Amino acid sequence: MDKDKNNKIIKSPFYSLEKLSEDSSIAKRGLRDLGILPQMQILLKEIEKQYFEHNYQKCIDLCDEALASEPLLSVPLRFKALCLAWLDKYEEAIIWFDKALQTELTLEIAPLEHHYENDGLVHTDIDFVIVISRKGFCLLRLGKYKEAIVCLDEALAIYPQNYINLQNKGLCLERLGQLDEALDNYEKSLILQPVNDKYYDFQGSVSHYFKIISDNDSNFFERTDKFYNSGASQIAILLWEAFLEKDKNNLETLILKARNLHKNEKYIEAMDIFSTCLKQEDKLFHIWQFRGDCYLMLGDYKNALSDYLQAIELNPIAGVAYDNTAMCFSYMGDHNKAHEFIDKAITIQEQTGQREDAAMPMTRKAQFFEFQGEMADALDQYKKTLERFPDSEYAKKKIQELS
């Protein structure tokens, strides 16, 4: 400002605030070039260092220092916005995220010295996704769910498999009452989220999902099947566990589900459900027996044998378990044990008559003799079977073959 001859103060266009600010930026650039102020590249590295060490206020101060001379530099704009978000200053963070989105090039594209000279809006995908995602998160925390979804969708258009953005979008949709769409996003997110993800709490994500489907009567088994069939068996198992923890009466429902899977030859899935049930209740012999049946059908005779022996320990008159134990020993080449257990199965059947396929234990013993190549003993055993069970068509057929 100057004074006229009458000592009146007048404004000079050469010394406006805008001009002073511009001159200040130019001056600071000159000081950096002369080495009096830190070089920008050193300053940017220190900004990143402070950010990743979680010194957010210090990082903000350094960003402000960089922006004082380079107000359009995207790196400090981004880091300042990110720090403000971590400090829960969401409204202020959004302002700086918008400034970052309006800047030109990122360090990955342009040399540092050209950063403030380009007028075009060009972003690398990763930088844009980080900024727009965190802006969406801030909007979510402020309860602006529809605006948040717009940001999250922009990020997901570039990286559709970002489970954090999918989870946040699901939360927005849930808060808006759009539960089916929310569950779809939660499911996609859970499948992509690492099981060992402690930072974002994988177990917590599963528990939150389970609470929604439980509280809203969503089709539980249809949704767990979707996880299992997509290869996310760990999620299905955690959901089954939550299902049992909520109501112990669900045990029989889950066992019935597994039995139907076994009937449809889905032995691995059935086995996983039986294993889940055993974590809840390991004193019911029939669960051990049913899981043993799965192992048997998969040719895993060692594990099948272990489960059948556990079933027998819990219920010493479980005839079917003795029968299947004998089969395991036979497949494993221990013929003496096979006959020992099949004889016990025959005795239990005679004493209790508990089996629908009553002729099976005696038939099985004859088959063991066949496997051993002892055809005379096999023929004799088939004849004994037919004497006791005259309607056994299988025994009749085998007697004709071996006679």
pLDDT in tens, the chain (403 residues): 444 445 543 343 444 434 434 444 444 454 444 444 457 888 899 999 999 999 999 999 999 999 988 888 888 999 999 999 999 999 999 999 999 988 753 434 444 443 333 444 445 677 888 999 999 999 999 999 999 999 999 999 989 999 999 999 999 999 999 999 999 999 999 999 998 887 888 999 999 999 999 888 778 898 999 999 888 999 999 999 999 988 877 899 999 999 999 999 999 999 999 999 999 899 999 999 999 999 999 999 999 999 999 999 999 999 999 999 999 999 999 999 999 999 999 999 888 866 667 889 999 999 999 999 999 999 999 999 999 999 889 999 999 988 8
Contact 270, 261 (CB under 8 A): yes
The secondary structure of residue 103, as a DSSP letter, is: S
| Contact partners, residue 324, CB within 8 Å, separation at least 6 | 289, 292, 293, 296, 304, 308
Give CA separation, 188 vs 115, 141, 162, 167, 214, in Å.
Answer: 38, 22, 9, 8, 19
Contact 342, 322 (CB under 8 A): yes
pLDDT for residue 20: 38
Task: Copy the structure tokens of residue 375.
Answer: 């055809």
The secondary structure of residue 112, as a DSSP letter, is: G
pLDDT for residue 125: 72
Give CA separation, 168 vs 203, 226, 313, 336, in Å.
Answer: 16, 21, 50, 62
Q: Does the model's pTM come out above 0.75?
A: no
| Contact partners, residue 363, CB within 8 Å, separation at least 6 | 382, 385, 392, 394, 395
pLDDT for residue 246: 86
Cβ density class 93-124: b for 16+ within 10 Å, e for less: bbebbebbbebbbbeeebeeeebbeeeeeebe
Residue with tokens 């396929």: 357
Contact 255, 243 (CB under 8 A): no
Please tell me whether residue 387 adopts helix, strand or coil conformation.
Answer: helix
- φ/ψ of 35, rounded to 5, equals 85, 5
pLDDT for residue 41: 83
**In 87-144, alpha helices (H):** 90-101, 125-141
- Long-range CB pairs of 21-24 (<8 Å, 24+ gap) are 24/68, 24/69
Q: In angstroms, rounded to a whole number, what is the distance separating the alpha carbons of residues 363 and 381?
A: 8
Q: In angstroms, rounded to a whole number, what is the distance separating the alpha carbons of residues 118 and 83?
A: 26
Task: Copy the structure tokens of residue 122.
Answer: 């060009």
Give CA separation, 140 vs 28, 207, 373, in Å.
Answer: 38, 21, 74
- φ/ψ of 178, rounded to 5, equals -95, 75
pLDDT for residue 94: 97
